[in-house]
Structures are given as structure tokens and as C-alpha cells.
Structure 1
């Protein structure tokens, strides 16, 4: 078990966070396909090896992005979901925008709640960020509940903010700061 724990950037009682790797393509895409109904219409994670390679590559090669796989300790490191920090800005802003999702087999078990807490500690600690924002479509009650549990505050409403699934979608802006 200690070898498993060493591969995580940070770890909690039930999950650990680690970077995306090329070797994760098969498991990640299979989990994304199994979770298609759960994710629609909010989220579209890659479901092919090629799409995964581009997605994971952008998260590991772009300094304005960071990606974390959420892996279950009890399941031998099985991927339960993911949390990404996008649009990272340094300098006086020190901010990023979150994207996340649980896979169907892990949904509703509190694993992403634990993982988001780990990401916040990592982002506000080693990454030295000050603010994280989550932009959520108003009808996505599970996502709104997740950020509320993590201590995010509702800051506003942005009509037609992001182009998702062929249309410009309204979003609520939720945020948390290191001093919250």
C-alpha cells in the first residue's frame, strides 16, 4: 500500500490525487463511456484514446492548466473522477477555473467531495494560488451542491457564458479564496 500512496501528489482517507498519464487512457475512456448518461448535458470528457491523449497532453504540457485524477484507495487506485484547474493566471491574480467530474461507479459516494478538498489544499498550498472559480450551469444541482459543501460562495450569473453541446449556456459563478 505504501508504494501506491507514494504515487499521489496528495492523499486523503479514501482517495488520492495524481497527474494524468498516457497509461490511463484505457481506464479513463472506459469510465467516461460508462458515465455518459450521468455527465450529459453538463460534461463531455474524452471517450476515445486519441481524444484522451490530446486532453491529458494539454493538462500536463500547458503551464496554465493542471489536471488531477481522483483514485480510490480501496479499489487499488481505480480512477473515480478528475479535477482540473484551467486558465491559471499567476502574478497578482493567482487564480484558476475548476472543471471536474465523478465517474458513474463513484458518483454519490462523497469521493469527489473529498477530492475537491484535497485540490483546494494543494492549489492554495504548493501551487500558491489565491482564488479558484467554478462556473456551473444553473440546472446542475449536484455540481452546485459539491462547491457549496467545499465552501464556495455564489458570486454572480453570466448569461451565455460558455459554448457547450452546441449552444451558449448560462452559468453561475462560484468562487473560493485561500483566506475564505
Structure 2
């Protein structure tokens, strides 16, 4: 499934998962602008060239964060973005998901296919044990997406993340590799006991 040479991290019937890179700047920023109304106030993505470069600097290919794109298989167009943030190794083996669909592709199932690929990549290639998603309670599309993939609701945290100028409460959802039915070798940083 993973093809480092092509940059492709996985593919399904309609989408390809790959890492974001500098060459994506123009299309990514165009998609962000077109999706501003869809994302507000739930998601804040880079809107300028400088913000895009700062965004790229956060990612380091699985060491502490991954920046991924869900692209249409037939055209290569960027349908959405998925980040695996705050990757912690050792006894935790955990990452925190952030994601957004882009107009005009939202609501067509592309992000669901992409999230399935992200789960496989995170659990098989990155060898994480657990992924978390923090979702604002009014974000019904996001809740539906994680429920479809078997995430469990773990609670509510008031004032968890700073979004749209204020600290906002979020529902906490999580999935483990066992829950997803994806097993693999443990990461070398996992202690023996």
C-alpha cells in the first residue's frame, strides 16, 4: 500500500493519500479560500503563502507530525487535508487528528475514504496504537465521520482548544489499532513491559 517513491501513502476506489509538499501551495490556498464559509468557525487553515510555509514546517514525516492530503484518484485534485499531530512515542504511541474537507468535494464521501487510508497508514506504517480526534459539539459532519470509522466517544473537555479567537470545548473521540482491526509490529520505541 505504501509507495515512498511515488509519494503515495495509500489509495482507495476514488482517492489517493499523500504527504503535503511545497508544490501544493497554490492549490491548497485556493481550496482554503473556496472553503472559508464551510470551515468557519470550526477550522482555521493557512490562508497566505507565509502561513502555508509555516504550516509545512510543522510536519516531519511521522516523527512528531504528518501533513497529509486526500486527493481525487482520477484528477489529483485536493479534496481534503488530514494532519496527524502531536505524535508521542514510548508507552503512549498516540497521535491527534485534524482534518478538513474542501469545497466542492465536501459531503461526497472522499474524506471518509481518505480517513480509512489514514487509519491504515497510521497503524501499519507509523505503528501508532491510538488516534484521537477532538470535535466541537456542533460539528455533526465530523462526528458522523469518526463514528463511521469506529471511533469511541470518550468524553467532553471544556475550553480544550483555541479556535476562532476563543477557548472552545470539544468532544473527545479515539480509536486504537485493535478497534480498527489493523494489527502490525509495535514501534521500536514501545517498551518491552
Q: TM-score normalized by structure 1?
A: 0.94
Aligned-partner Cα distance in 2 for 1:107–1:62: 26
Task: Give how far 1:61 is off.
Answer: 6.9
Instruction: Specify the alignment match of 2:48 in structure 1.
Output: 48
Q: Work out the CA distance in 1 between the residues paired with 2:62 and 2:12.
A: 27
Verify the 8 A CA contact 1:42 1:140 in the aligned structure 2: yes
Give the equivalent residue in structure 2 for 1:60: 60
More helix by share: 1
Q: What's the CA shift for 1:60? A: 3.4
Matched, 1:154 2:153: yes
What secondary structure does 1:60 align onto? coil
Matches of 1:43 and 1:121, distance apart in 2: 24
Q: Deviations 1:123-163 (Å, cap 9, x if unpaired)? A: 01010000000000001001100100111010011011111
Counterpart in the other structure of 2:174: 175
Count of matched residue pairs: 175
Kept after mapping to 1: 8 A contact 2:62/2:87: no
Mapping of 1:114-125 within 5 angstroms?
A: 114-125=113-124
Q: Indicate the residue corresponding to 1:23 in structure 2.
A: 23
Displacement after TM superposition at 1:49 (Å): 1.1
Residue 62 of structure 1: how far off its partner (Å):
7.9
Root-mean-square deviation (CA), in Å?
Answer: 1.4
Unaligned stretches of 5+ in structure 1? none
Give the SS at the match of 1:88.
strand
Deviation string 1:26-74 (CA, Å, 9 cap, x unpaired) is 0000000000000001001111111111101212378210111111012
Runs of 4+ in 1 over 3 A off after TM superposition: none
User: In 1, Cα distance between the equivalents of 2:61 and 2:54?
Assistant: 10
Distance 1:178 1:61, change over 3 A: closer
Displacement of 1:7 in angstroms is 3.4
- Displacement of 1:20: 1.0
